Amino acid sequence: MTQPELDECRALLQSKRTELIEGSPAHRPLSTAAGTPEIDPRAMMLRNVRSALVRIDEGSFGECLICHRYIPYELLAVTPWATWCLVCRKAADARSCGSGSGMEETLVNAGDRGGHRQGDA
């Protein structure tokens, strides 16, 4: 990844972080009032965005956390907080089979709704 690409991802992450922190309270999950420990997708996304910014500073940004191959820039340009490459994501999806344990997938989908929606095969 080149320095301009890295800067681009950093800028995306920083604006996403601001958006998540200042996010509209209208989107709060309704079930929080029931006292159920609800996982807030925004809080989890914020954690991912922050760790991606840390990885930029550390120089390990863009590396898949599982297989350590580089995540394609086309993917990072849309979801710079992605921590898995497409191969590992697909493998995780196949394992979870929609059982709800695909945490990373949930995060990616949440991010897609907030910004550019792309035809993801």
Which residues bind to Zn ion, rule: CB under 5 A?
Answer: 64, 66-67, 85, 88
The residue among 41 and 62 lying less far from Zn ion, judged by its C-beta, is 62
Amino acid present at 56? I
Nearest approach, Cβ of 102 to Zn ion (angstroms)?
15
CA distances from 14 to 10, 17, 50, 93 (A): 6, 5, 9, 28
CA distances from 78 to 34, 45, 97 (A): 35, 14, 24
Nearest approach, Cβ of 6 to Zn ion (angstroms)?
19
**Cα 23 from Cα 94, distance rounded (Å):** 32
The residue among 1 and 64 lying less far from Zn ion, judged by its C-beta, is 64
Nearest approach, Cβ of 104 to Zn ion (angstroms)?
11
The residue among 40 and 70 lying less far from Zn ion, judged by its C-beta, is 70
Nearest approach, Cβ of 91 to Zn ion (angstroms)?
8
Q: How many CB atoms lie within 10 A of CB 21?
A: 10
The residue among 12 and 82 lying less far from Zn ion, judged by its C-beta, is 82
